[in-house]
Amino acid sequence: MTKQRYFVHPKTGEILDEQDPATFAFAIEATEEEMVELRNLFMELLEEESDTFFDAFFPFQQEEAMTDNEQYEQVLNHIYQKIYELGTAETKQQLENMYMIKR
């Protein structure tokens, strides 16, 4: 499969074919299969985000909230790891400089 260049906005979960000069995005090169995997990770992150949102309304359930927060962080780390894996040399350097990946 051939790889195509995409631009990923981790905060919004957007994956674009062209870079928007007004916003920051990480450049990646991915096959269609890899894009499906990355999109699925963003969907999983949305689910985890909604769990952490509801935890804010029930502050006395600390143990469950910690688990939800840990799961959210785990998925987010997986997303950054995938961006690093698919990233251009510049993207990899940016992520290393930002300490966003665990080496």
Model confidence over 37-77: pLDDT tens digits?
999 999 999 988 776 665 566 666 666 556 777 888 999 99
Three-state DSSP state, 61: coil
Separation CA 90–CA 88 (nearest Å)? 5
Identity of residue 69? N
Over residues 9-23, mean pLDDT: 90
pLDDT of residue 70: 86
Percent of the chain topping pLDDT 70:
83
User: What are phi and psi for residue 28, nearest 5 degrees?
Assistant: -130, 165
Average pLDDT, the chain: 87
pLDDT at site 103: 61
pLDDT at 69: 79
Q: Find all residues with CB under 8 Å of 74, minimum gap 6, and list them.
A: none
